[in-house]
């Protein structure tokens, strides 16, 4: 007990893991399980020594000691609340019950079994512990061999898998798994009661068991029934959601497209099924690029790509919700539906290509027990760099440096990578790896990756020296303005889940808000937002969400008061200031106060922001300044319309766009907005002519250069998917001639030029 108390108190100084909840339960469960094995063994030995007269007496003694063990851990966690923040103690208590408590019961039963089948304490402990080890090995093997990243285990409880998925709670599947565990435990205890005589010795023959009488036979029969049921459930774990395998996933993703390098699995009734040919070619384009950039290195087997219809479907089927995942050692990637071209496909495939230079077991940057996370993720980010507005990867890294948010490279070359937010860590590691490849070639990077970070061996230079040279490169490169820095400040302020004590509670509440909104329970959404504001008061975005929820209920006075609270806060970033102005304009437009809406949007447009955000502000300003446009723009944006999501909302937005196109002087804008809706439902063929109208001089001018650029990018996407390559080439030429404001613009043009020619070469034009 002293060991457990010391362990819990030691953990209490670790963020999240030291507070009662998911992480704490996951860490403590195997520890409590192994200690409980010893409790079970010692209970048997004590019963034999004292001549216990029944199995019941043995169990009473064992459960009493287990309760003391769990009570010690729980007391230590309660004491730790003096310096640890816990935002949801009741859910935390449930995690403790479902994790360490029930894992302790499972360990206790394993210990009882070990104590009964052997005589010497060492052998008894080994027999009991072997059950825990075997169960752990099965779970680990499933994580390695099967297309799944989560795990349920009797002795470990629940492992969610994806670190960046913050919405973790007690699911119905977890409850069902523990119910199944209790059935198996009940069967084991009944079997023990049959196999043990009153003196605590094992009956070693059927005749000895039969001598136990009618009650023994009844207990034995019930043990067989429960054991058979538990075995049947355990052997069909994927059916119950306790794990996943290829069959369980492909039953849902039953559509298949096989190419030279891929087997792509998708849902035949999903949006992806409508454009599967384009998805196939984008996969092959990603393969071609990576093979070229890695100097001919490529996987020797076909890669299985699972394209789920939504994050929710992906979470249910294999564990990862909002994150995309790759398993290099299995040659598999897991994606969910995104607009074409998929923004993360190339990154995840880069992980699989990394297996050609990684370790022999998992195909990653690993040496022994050391996993170099910065190289694993930095390599994939470097091989598939993504722009942010007009900023390329190096621009974003330079902004981190100017914001003083960049972590040192040595501090993220391991598990501490996860102590940083994903945006910060991926950007830092990705820019550094991209610079290494660009300045020193790919071969040294391959050696570095294989060694899991031996920089002197790969480059003949220590990491610190390389870091200094990389930072000098970023500084000399330039191209980043003060406005760029301010526009990205909010994006890089978000802390890692391990630095946010209420991260899981906040994510759970956000999920409840979405559910309440879908079900039309808008007053409940207001209440939930108030709770969210109370547990993370430092995040003004929650207050902006509260104002939105109040607007949905029609209480614009309360929404305005909430926005006034935001205004009074100190040190607001320009992103929050712009979002605040945006929400004020939404409230004003909904209330019919056009002058206030104009003032709010004019203030917002003086701030630096991403082009997509600026377009929305410009659209809202147009609605406020032209009364003929107001109703239709409000209907299109539908900021407080409870029916704006789903099919109803899509039809409403399309109808509003049609009306806008019919207004004098707004044909270009209306055509663009109609095309956006068609692209949202994966109808690129229908979007192409509308976007051509939007960009034609005869239709009038779009509201701004930002709108024109967005229309060009949309036409590129639509025309490539529709295989209208002449249209695509003309559009990318026009985009290249448009005013550029950063390295990211050049990267986007080059990216589309390569995509157009690849698609044209590998598919016939329409």
Q: Is the dihedral of CA 696, 701, 703, 706 positive or negative?
A: positive
Is residue 680 in some structural domain? yes
pLDDT, position 500: 65
Is residue 103 domain-shared with residue 159, that is, in the same domain?
A: yes
* Peptide bond just before 517 cis, omega within 30 deg: no
> 538 in helix, strand or coil?
coil
Same domain, 197 and 259: no
Q: Would residue 386 count as lying in a domain? A: no
Q: Looking at the domain assignment, is residue 63 inside a domain?
A: yes
- Where residue 673 sits, what CATH number does that domain have? 1.25.40
Q: Is 301 within a domain?
A: yes
Does 228 share its domain with 258?
Answer: no
| pLDDT confidence of residue 766 | 46
pLDDT at 498: 58
Range of the domain at 753: 665-766
- Report yes or no on 141 lying in a domain: yes
User: Are 182 and 94 in a shared domain?
Assistant: yes
Task: Verify that 203 and 318 share a domain, yes or no.
Answer: no
Are both 206 and 284 inside the same structural domain?
Answer: no
CATH number at residue 325: 3.40.30.160
Whether 188 and 254 share a structural domain: no
Same-domain status, 121 and 6 = yes
Mark whether 59 and 103 lie in a shared domain: yes
Q: DSSP letter at 423?
A: H
**Residue 528: inside a domain, yes or no?**
no
Between helix 373-383 and helix 345-354 the angle, nearest 10°, is 120
Calculate the alpha carbon distances from 475 to 373, 392, 402, 468, 733 in Å.
25, 14, 10, 11, 31
- How many domains does the chain contain in total? 3
Per-residue pLDDT of 531-590, as tens digits, reads 988 888 888 889 999 999 999 898 989 999 999 999 988 888 888 889 999 999 999 888
CA distance linking residue 546 with residue 524, whole number of Å: 11
Predicted pLDDT of residue 709: 94
Signed CA dihedral, 711, 712, 713, 719: sign only: positive
Distance between CA atoms of residues 468 and 462, nearest Å: 10
For the entire predicted model, the pTM comes to 0.89
d(CA 337, CA 274): 12
- Is residue 177 a part of any domain in this protein? yes
Domain boundary, last residue among 239, 256, 280: 239
Residues of the chain with pLDDT under 70: 1-2, 5, 8, 11-18, 51-54, 83, 163-164, 195-217, 495-501, 764-766
Beta bridge partners of 187: none
**Of 356, 380, 400, which residue is a domain's last?**
356
Residue 405 lies in a domain: no
Q: Which residues pair with 256 in a beta bridge?
A: 265
Co-location of 698 and 752 in the same domain: yes
Residues 342 and 289 in one domain: yes
pLDDT for the residue 345:
96
In three state form, how does the secondary structure of 181-192 look? HHHHHHHHHHHH
Q: Are residues 226 and 256 in the same domain?
A: no
Q: Rounded distance, CA 751 to CA 698, Å?
A: 30
Choosing from 239, 265, 283, the residue where a domain stops is 239
The pair of structure tokens assigned to 257 is: 């497209």
Distances, alpha carbon 592 to alpha carbons 549, 588, 597, 630, 631, in Å: 18, 6, 9, 9, 10
């Amino acid at each position: 007990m002293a060991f457990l108390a010391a362990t819990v108190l030691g953990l209490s100084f670790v963020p999240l893991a030291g507070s009662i909840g998911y992480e704490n339960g996951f860490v403590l469960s195997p520890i409590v399980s192994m200690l409980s094995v010893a409790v079970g063994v010692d209970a048997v030995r004590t019963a034999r020594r004292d001549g216990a007269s029944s199995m019941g007496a043995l169990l009473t003694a064992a459960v009493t000691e287990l309760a003391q063990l769990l009570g010690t851990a729980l007391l230590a966690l309660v004491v730790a609340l003096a310096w640890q923040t816990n935002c949801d103690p009741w859910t935390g208590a449930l995690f403790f019950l479902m994790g360490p408590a029930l894992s302790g019961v499972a360990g206790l039963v394993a210990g009882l079994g070990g104590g009964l089948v052997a005589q010497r304490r060492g052998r008894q402990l080994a027999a009991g512990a072997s059950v825990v080890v075997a169960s752990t090995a099965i779970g680990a093997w499933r994580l390695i061999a099967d297309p799944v990243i989560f795990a349920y285990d009797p002795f470990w409880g629940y492992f969610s898998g994806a670190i960046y998925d913050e919405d973790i709670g007690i699911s119905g599947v977890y409850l069902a798994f523990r119910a199944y565990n209790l059935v198996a435990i009940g069967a084991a205890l009944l079997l023990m009661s049959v196999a043990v005589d009153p003196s605590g010795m094992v009956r070693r023959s059927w005749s000895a068991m039969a001598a136990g009488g009618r009650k023994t036979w009844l207990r034995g029969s019930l043990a067989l029934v429960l054991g058979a049921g538990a075995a049947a459930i355990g052997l069909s774990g994927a059916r119950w959601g306790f794990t996943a395998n290829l069959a369980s996933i492909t039953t849902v993703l039953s559509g298949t497209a096989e190419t030279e390098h891929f087997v792509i699995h998708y849902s035949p009734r999903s949006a992806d099924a409508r454009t599967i040919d384009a998805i196939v070619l984008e996969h092959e384009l990603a393969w071609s690029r990576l093979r070229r950039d890695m100097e001919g290195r490529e996987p020797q087997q076909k890669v299985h790509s699972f394209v789920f219809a939504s994050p929710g479907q992906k979470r249910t089927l294999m564990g990862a919700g909002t994150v995309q995942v790759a398993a290099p050692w299995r040659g598999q990637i897991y994606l969910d539906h995104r607009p074409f071209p998929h923004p993360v496909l190339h990154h995840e495939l880069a992980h699989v290509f990394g297996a050609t230079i990684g370790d022999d077991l998992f195909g990653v940057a690993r040496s022994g027990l050391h996993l170099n996370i910065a190289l694993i993720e930095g390599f994939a980010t470097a091989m598939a760099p993504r722009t942010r507005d007009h900023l390329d990867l190096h621009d974003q890294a330079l902004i981190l440096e100017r914001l003083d948010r960049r972590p040192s490279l040595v501090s993220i070359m391991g598990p501490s990578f996860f102590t940083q937010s994903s945006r910060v860590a991926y950007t830092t590691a990705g820019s550094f790896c991209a610079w290494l490849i660009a300045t020193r070639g790919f071969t040294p990077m391959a050696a570095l990756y294989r060694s899991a970070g031996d920089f002197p061996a790969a480059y003949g230079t220590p990491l610190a020296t390389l870091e200094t040279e990389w930072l000098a490169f970023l500084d000399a490169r330039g191209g980043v303005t003060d406005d760029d820095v301010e526009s990205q400040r909010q994006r890089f302020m978000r802390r890692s889940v391990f630095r946010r004590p209420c991260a899981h509670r906040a994510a759970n509440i956000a999920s409840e808000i979405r559910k309440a909104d879908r079900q039309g329970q808008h007053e409940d959404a207001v209440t939930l937002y108030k709770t969210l504001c109370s547990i993370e008061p430092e995040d003004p975005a929650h207050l902006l969400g509260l104002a939105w929820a109040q607007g949905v209920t029609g209480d614009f006075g309360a929404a305005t008061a909430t926005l006034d609270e935001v205004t009074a806060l100190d040190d607001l970033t320009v992103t929050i200031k712009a979002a605040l102005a945006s929400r004020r304009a939404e409230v004003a437009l909904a209330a019919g106060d056009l002058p206030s809406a104009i003032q709010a949007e004019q203030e917002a447009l003086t701030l630096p922001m991403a082009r997509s955000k600026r377009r929305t502000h410009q659209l809202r300003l147009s609605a406020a300044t032209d009364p003929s446009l107001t109703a239709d723009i409000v209907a299109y944006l539908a900021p407080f319309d409870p029916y704006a999501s789903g099919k109803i909302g899509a039809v409403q937005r399309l109808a509003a766009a049609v009306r806008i196109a019919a207004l004098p002087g707004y044909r270009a804008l209306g055509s663009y907005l109609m095309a956006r809706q068609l692209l949202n439902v994966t109808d690129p063929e229908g979007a192409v002519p509308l976007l051509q109208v939007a960009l034609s001089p005869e239709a009038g001018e779009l509201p701004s250069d930002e709108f024109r650029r967005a229309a060009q990018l949309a036409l590129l996407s639509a025309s490539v998917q529709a295989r209208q390559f002449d249209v695509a080439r003309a559009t990318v030429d026009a985009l290249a001639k448009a005013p550029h404001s950063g390295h990211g613009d050049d990267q986007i043009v080059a990216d589309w030029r390569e995509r157009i020619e690849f698609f044209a070469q590998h598919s016939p034009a329409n």
